[in-house]
Chain A
Amino acid sequence: MTHATQTLDQMRPPFPAETGAGVYSNKLGMWVFLASDVMFFTALIGSYVILRFGMATAWARPGAVLNVPLTGLNTFLLICSSVSMVKAYAAIADGKKYFLRKVPGKTLQDGGLKFWMLITIICGAGFVGVQVFEYIKLVGHGFTPTGYREGSLLAEHALADPVKYGAGVAGMYGSTFFTMTGFHGFHVTCGVISMLYLYFTKVLPEKYSPQDYRGIEVIGLYWHFVDLVWIILFTIVYLI
């Protein structure tokens, strides 16, 4: 570390707690952003619910078009990433910075910030990868944002069994599905990119300490929110 960088770090203001909510400004800012994101996703989910239950009998049945086992696996990945994120937070708060370290008297090794953050990034990237794979498969089968593609296998199925496949509202089904899951996937992608940035610029160089781990807490809040939204989306879009 150069002298100039050291000076810059030392001149960084300490954690000034805001007088209102009693938290530091980065965290308050993230909470305000999440509150606005609640409204954003509610608008999407609310629109979907209104459209869906306005013509419930015409909608495709759960599992008819979408691959629920694959998405179940994706949900599992995101839940795992959420717990690894909170473990990363706990690790740095307790002063554990390392990948793995031996614990006296225990056979299992203890993970630190670097280990849990890496697990979180891998699970998050895995979620995005599976979602891209799911999209490719769906579009390949003829399920597009504008509905069932003419001449596709899915369009033939829909003609043969319009009740199961919801042929009458296929366009609406496709557009709502891709909009909701697409925006969520975009949030996950942004989260993974942000975590990668933090990992290489702050976590690996060991810039966080038990006295200063604001970045981990703030990105953690975002990541858990993304998980929370997916829990609702998975139920509403895939299971109901």
Chain B
Amino acid sequence: MTTPAPQTTTTHVRPNYMLIWLYLFVMTIAEVLLAFELPVSQNLKLILLLILAVWKAMLVALFFMHLKFERWRLRLIFIVPLPLAAILVTTVIMEKVF
């Protein structure tokens, strides 16, 4: 008896994982340089560091976790908690500010 093919079988072209690893590596170095070496204002540094971190996280989620190739119904499971988390943090910040 042979086991039927799993639902995980991919029909898309597999991404170049080593290239994504290179992006992640270069961005990590860029982050450290930005944090300690580059003479930019504190606010600009903060924004750039956050953008780099989110970009790296997106690369991992989309290509390593294959979210880019999953159905929307499955993506929603991961995406839905994010606005809830944003609401949680915003509410606590407002509680502190006002």
Binding site for B on A (CB under 8 A): 10, 12, 14-15, 17, 20-24, 27-28, 31-32, 34-36, 38-39, 42-43, 46-47, 49-50, 54, 62-63, 68, 72, 75-76, 79-80, 82-83, 85-87, 90, 93, 209, 211-214, 217, 220-221, 224-225, 227-228, 231-232, 234-236, 239-240
A residues within 8 A CB of B88?
Answer: 39, 42-43, 46
User: B interface, by DSSP: helix, strand, loop or mixed?
Assistant: helix
A residues within 8 A CB of B18?
Answer: 83
A residues within 8 A CB of B38?
Answer: none
Q: Is the CB of B6 within 8 A of A211?
A: yes
**Given known A-B contacts A82-B60, A212-B3, A50 and B96 have beta carbons under 8 A apart:** yes
> Can you name 5 extra interface pairs (CB under 8 A) apart from A39-B84, A50-B93, A235-B49?
A28-B77, A93-B8, A225-B65, A227-B60, A235-B52
Between A and B, how many residue pairs show CB distances below 8 Å? 155
Binding site for A on B (CB under 8 A): 1-10, 14, 17-18, 20-21, 24-25, 28, 31-32, 34-36, 46, 49-50, 52-53, 56-57, 60-61, 63-65, 70-71, 73-74, 77-78, 80-82, 84-85, 88-89, 92-93, 96
